[in-house]
Structure 1
Amino acid sequence: MLRLHARPDRLTFPFVLRSVAALGEVGMGRVLHGMLVKVGVEMDLFVRVSLVDMYVKVGLLGCALQVFDQSPERVRSESVLLWNVLINGCCRGGELGRAVETFEAMPVRTSGSWNILIHGFLRAGDLVRARRFFDRMPQEMKNVVTWTTMISGFSQNEDHEQALGLFRRMLEEGVRPNDHTIVSALSACASIGALRTGVWIHEYISKKGFRLKRIVGTALVDMYAKCGKIDSASQVFGEVREKNLLTWTVMISGWATNGCSDLALQWFEDMINAGVKPDDVVFLAILTACSHSGMVKEGLRLFNSMRFDYDIEPNVKHYASMVDLFGRAGQLEEALNFIEKIPIKPDFVVWGALFCACRAHKNIEMAELASKKLLQLEPTHPGSYIFLSNIYAGVGRWEDVERVRRTMKSKNIEKPPGWSYIEVDDQVHRFLAGDKTHQHSQEIFAKLEEVTVKASAEGYNPDTKWVLHNIEEEEKEDALGSHSEKLALAFGIMSTPNGTTIRIVKNLRVCGDCHSLMKYVSMVSGREIILRDIKRFHHFKDGMCTCRDYW
């Protein structure tokens, strides 16, 4: 255009500035700024908005502020877009204080102004101020974007209970959700295993005529799979129109984590036959299925197929999955040899997979090697120390346990707390290890003692090696009784009718003693117990678990 001596005007520069922002061309942005001044369009509001937006997106917030401060038209009501762009820039740049100052100084605010600021707080993890401004926002300005921003933001910041509470309140106030709202709410249900709420949302969208398009259908499949209702996930999968790779991946991953490895493999083949090309994510899901069921040869075949048949370069997660596959099967030397041949530097997860296998198979020498690697990679990560402490405790080396714990204490490294969720009567309850804050705490501990006695009569013995302190056996049994999943189990039994399936979600790996107790409780209570830990699902029924004790 310039070579042809065509003169750019106020309509030309915004489009060029947008391209500069997308490409991150800082130098070109400054050149354009000088050019538009020479052309004489720098005071045009449309141009000013684009200029501020460009500086924000290339990371020059100071320049954006300078252009804004030099804009005389900012005091006019029609300049609200200019204000919004700057507020968004301040939020993106982490200048939340300046964002609030700018917001409070606005001559006129729109729904967009409120939404931008609220989203900025949520992105920064400041849920308190996000909620405060949401509550301040005039009711007539709260639209579906506002509600979706809140629900999605709270869920992404791990406050899933409040996210679902906001969704219910949104419906009560007559605001119709869109697909993104539904997906955010279903994601919150999936994260904490809130099946009843998820089913209620499914019923709502069916009544309101939502089509099971890719985004909503995939979210429903994911919710049912992560709540342990894998058959319902499969049914919804069949109803989803225009399935894409993500839909298939969610379903295959659901089969894998729910202990249905054969079906995961079958559906992977069905996906290939349907003409859907796999990617690195779905290969990770299918390798997980092999790992959970001890299918070493099949896992190795798929790993090689990924590389040679589909030209997908494995990443560190795939390598970690292969180490886990060998390690779970007790092939520790093969796992170590595999690590030594990895073409990229093994990370914390890779060595952690080997360490967990060493603990399960009581290989102290290799565990110490893996532990040293873990501590070199992340010297302040609590998992490195906890892994080592666990394996020493497992073989009774209490002096070594105390040495590791002293090191943790001297470096102010704390073990993350274990917690478990359980949904009862449409309300999600959260328990911490040793939690006595619940309003029914006394009844919960009494019920836990009752079911433990019944389980013991059938052969359950507390596995005290899972208590990592050198204390008397009786004290160890007391410590085992405070694990969060046991408290959730007792609460579920006392709060639901006989025959009701109990569903628990735990943030850590379930310990061997809790796993053993739940098998016995499923037998003596006649209940099905579904526990999702950080690795996989455990479906307990009639004294058996779907993992077949391979976990």
Structure 2
Amino acid sequence: MRKVREFASFVRTITTVTSEFVSIHLPRPYSYSSVHAPDAIYLKNREIDRLIKFGHLSAAIKLFDEMPLHDVVTYNLLISGCFRHGHPERAFGLYSQMVLRGIRESASTFTSVLGTCSNADFSKEGSQIHCRVVFLGFSLNLFIGTSLIDYYMRMGLDIVALKLFDELPQRNIAVWNLLLRRFCELGQFEKLLGSFSKMQLEGVEPNGLTLCYLLRGVGNERLLDEGRQLHSRAVKIGLVESNIFVPNALVDFYSDCRSLTEAKKAFECIPLEDVISWNSIVAVYADIGFLSESLELFSRMQFWGKRPSIRSLMAFLNLSSRTRNIQLGKQIQSCALKLGFGHESSHLQSALINMYGKCFDIESSVAVYESISVRTLECCNSLMTSLLHCGVIEDVIEMFGLMADEGIGLDEVTLSTTLKALSMSSPTDLTGCRLLHCCAIKSGLGFNSVVSCSLMDSYSRCGHVELSCKVFEEIHSPGVICFTSIINGYARNGMGKEGIQMLKTMIQKGWKPDKVTFLCALIGCNHSGLVEEGRFVFELMKTVCGIEPDWKHYSCMVDLLGRVGLLDEAEKLLLKVPEKVNGVSWSSMLRSCRIHRNEIIGRKIAKSLVDLEAEDPAALLQASNFYSDIGDFETSKQLREVALTKKVIREIGRSLIEVKSHC
């Protein structure tokens, strides 16, 4: 919002803008002569264009320096070339020189420079370029307006971009595609389809890029019927045959909807020589978990001389991570090296680090990280999550410090992972949580939903649920996950009534709780002994929200009823569980029978627990203790002897005590 307010202030003063532009370091001045013919500049411009296209930027700059006279085309070529070859500072220097020498910009000038401004380091210069556009009367130019909209969208200033979009006197397919791309990136499906409808009403025909964005949007929502309609539309206007990207998008769409038959049909319509489609279908089968089919396609692909891409390899590595198939991961790593990918792909290295971490081979994960010459934020985050997954908590926190020292930067994954590590440390470090909260605010991630949820979880684990509430109140538009996090924080601190009230508020605001939300609310009722409230939540889940409880919800209700002595009701509920119940529910029920000395129900529960968890020594010992309490010492002795032949490990409990020192 701060950026939006700054832009609004800029708009109010834009009428007073002068032609002055921020001066960047300029090259040496030139001496101009009027005797040179225009065709000489034209020939030099062609030569500069040729050099830039072949990647010889230094030679192009040298030729530019030798020219006694330049025109707008000369500057446009070189500014665009500097931007294309990764020299934005030099591009801005040339643009400043051009303005100060009185050479009037063309539409191509503005689009090139605005493309450079999309880099976050040059956001201020982008606003200045906008000033220049208005000053020279280019505000209604469609070509420049499209570049400005693209710039503001990349900067995250969507309100400004939409205002400029509405002010355009006419809109072509390029500017509509920008809007569709942004809504697709943000996951705003309704706005995506709404914009497409408006585009059609204006008589603008979609192209291949339009359908790719739409197919990605409906694929993310898994709307099979809507996607089929788009498929029919693409066939009708001939884009399936003429645009290779559309059938590839169809393969991805049907795969997202888990319609493999239609995905394969879409793939078979693509020419054999198209390498993109091969990598798409291989990645699709790997993503879904069909290992043998994806490996067969991977082999066929190479048989036909098609080179696998990073996407194919990453799909296999992600499958290895999900299934913890380290052997497959090692083979894919060898394949990547053989294909010549090496260490230049940070995405591939990040996937390798993550794969070894998920397979609990943290040594290999660290080895891949140390082999990387340029350590990116993505690779650092992957190592942090791997360390956390393997329980190396101290190294996660140390990794955060190293990233800060080396200037790698941080994002929501970095902060969330570090906060999770602090939460898992013993005792939970409140000071560390506060420091990370400050880092989040300073880096502009203070209102990020992922970071906010991690902060709420960390503060509630420290016993400071009031700080969790403060974080929640500062979220602009809390979603289901944010509500679930604060309800979980209340539950963890025995504040069941507050959790129920937050659940009601959530529903009143139009959000639909999911299974995790209801489970957190039930846990809060359980810890607070709120029987009536627990029944209310359990029934609300089924009747109002249409969510069928699973064994975790039943187990929580059984424990709640058992704690207060409602053993008959708890037993009836336990027998209604629609799936196979694990030993947790029976163990909880047996504990309640021991507390309330109910021998009749207890015997039935103990027998069921022993039958269900015959290999669990802890369950056998619990049943043995129950039989000992009721005087059946023979059965108790038999169960104890069986339990002692198995390894029993008891987790030591601990309490959180915060000592405040007063100096």
For this structure pair, what is the TM-score category when the shorter chain's length is used for normalisation?
0.5 to 0.7
Match of 2:252 among 18, 22, 25: 18
Distance 2:261 2:611 in 1: 41
Are the structure 2 counterparts of residues 167 and 331 from structure 1 closer, same or farther at C-alpha, using a change threshold of 3 Å? same
Distance 2:506 2:315 in 1: 44
SS in 1 for 2:654: helix
- 1:133 corresponds to which letter in structure 2? V
Match of 2:399 among 156, 166, 185: 166
Match of 1:131 among 353, 366, 375: 366
Question: Which structure: greater strand fraction?
Answer: 1
Q: How does 1:131-530 map to 2 (within 5 A)?
A: 131-138=366-373, 140=374, 142-192=375-425, 193-342=428-577, 346-392=581-627, 400=635, 402-410=637-645, 413-419=646-652, 485=654
Summarize deviations over 1:24-44 as a string: whole Å, max 9, x none.
4445555556554xxxx3233
Summarize deviations over 1:386-425 as a string: whole Å, max 9, x none.
4224445667877655532432354xx4334415xxxxxx
Question: Do residues 53 (structure 1) and 283 (structure 2) align?
Answer: yes
Summarize deviations over 1:46-87 as a string: whole Å, max 9, x none.
233224323423512321331343254549xxx555555555
Are the structure 2 counterparts of residues 292 and 50 from structure 1 closer, same or farther at C-alpha, using a change threshold of 3 Å? closer
Distance 1:84 1:336 in 2: 48
Q: Which moved more, 1:87-96 or 1:46-55?
A: 87-96
Summarize deviations over 1:449-486 as a string: whole Å, max 9, x none.
xxxxxxxxxxxxxxxxxxxxxxxxxxxxxxxxxxx638
Shift of 1:261: 2.8
Asked whether the 8 Å contact 1:320–1:349 carries over to 2, the reply is: yes
Are the structure 2 counterparts of residues 49 and 407 from structure 1 closer, same or farther at C-alpha, using a change threshold of 3 Å? same
Distance 1:234 1:350 in 2: 32
Distance 2:635 2:266 in 1: 65
Are the structure 2 counterparts of residues 119 and 344 from structure 1 closer, same or farther at C-alpha, using a change threshold of 3 Å? closer
Summarize deviations over 1:278-301 as a string: whole Å, max 9, x none.
444333223222222323233223
Name the count of aligned residue pairs: 419
Distance 2:513 2:235 in 1: 46
Are the structure 2 counterparts of residues 116 and 277 from structure 1 closer, same or farther at C-alpha, using a change threshold of 3 Å? closer
SS in 1 for 2:410: coil
Shift of 1:176: 1.1
Distance 1:66 1:498 in 2: 67
Shift of 1:201: 0.9
Are the structure 2 counterparts of residues 4 and 281 from structure 1 closer, same or farther at C-alpha, using a change threshold of 3 Å? closer
Question: Do residues 43 (structure 1) and 273 (structure 2) align?
Answer: yes
Q: Which moved more, 1:109-118 or 1:159-168?
A: 159-168
Distance 2:281 2:512 in 1: 42
Are the structure 2 counterparts of residues 406 and 90 from structure 1 closer, same or farther at C-alpha, using a change threshold of 3 Å? same
Shift of 1:225: 0.8
Distance 1:96 1:155 in 2: 20
Shift of 1:329: 0.7
Distance 1:211 1:394 in 2: 54
Summarize deviations over 1:265-316 as a string: whole Å, max 9, x none.
3433444444444444333223222222323233223333333344443332
Shift of 1:167: 2.2
Partner of 1:536: none
Distance 1:324 1:2 in 2: 58
Summarize deviations over 1:86-118 as a string: whole Å, max 9, x none.
555666663123123213323133112211212
Shift of 1:174: 1.3
TM-score, normalising length: structure 1? 0.66
Are the structure 2 counterparts of residues 103 and 362 from structure 1 closer, same or farther at C-alpha, using a change threshold of 3 Å? farther
Distance 2:546 2:321 in 1: 40
Distance 2:318 2:487 in 1: 39
Asked whether the 8 Å contact 1:17–1:50 carries over to 2, the reply is: yes
Shift of 1:373: 1.7
- 1:18 corresponds to which letter in structure 2? D
SS in 2 for 1:485: coil
Asked whether the 8 Å contact 2:287–2:315 carries over to 1, the reply is: no
Are the structure 2 counterparts of residues 387 and 211 from structure 1 closer, same or farther at C-alpha, using a change threshold of 3 Å? same
- 1:54 corresponds to which letter in structure 2? V
Asked whether the 8 Å contact 2:317–2:332 carries over to 1, the reply is: yes
Partner of 1:466: none
Distance 2:614 2:440 in 1: 48
Partner of 1:539: none
Question: Do residues 114 (structure 1) and 349 (structure 2) align?
Answer: yes
Larger Cα Rg: Structure 1 or Structure 2? 2
Distance 2:532 2:660 in 1: 45
Asked whether the 8 Å contact 2:354–2:365 carries over to 1, the reply is: yes
The higher-RCO structure (CA 8 Å, 6+ apart) is: 1
Are the structure 2 counterparts of residues 176 and 355 from structure 1 closer, same or farther at C-alpha, using a change threshold of 3 Å? same
- 2:498 corresponds to which letter in structure 1? L
- 1:190 corresponds to which letter in structure 2? S
Shift of 1:364: 4.6
Distance 2:450 2:237 in 1: 47
Shift of 1:12: 4.4
SS in 1 for 2:446: coil
- 2:253 corresponds to which letter in structure 1? S
SS in 2 for 1:209: coil
Question: Do residues 97 (structure 1) and 342 (structure 2) align?
Answer: no
Are the structure 2 counterparts of residues 402 and 173 from structure 1 closer, same or farther at C-alpha, using a change threshold of 3 Å? farther
- 1:170 corresponds to which letter in structure 2? M
RMSD of Structure 2 on Structure 1 (CA):
3.4
Question: Which structure: greater helix fraction?
Answer: 2
- 1:178 corresponds to which letter in structure 2? D
Asked whether the 8 Å contact 1:259–1:293 carries over to 2, the reply is: yes
TM-score, normalising length: structure 2? 0.56
Distance 1:300 1:391 in 2: 28
Distance 1:159 1:89 in 2: 24
Question: Do residues 62 (structure 1) and 292 (structure 2) align?
Answer: no
Are the structure 2 counterparts of residues 61 and 408 from structure 1 closer, same or farther at C-alpha, using a change threshold of 3 Å? farther
Shift of 1:220: 0.9
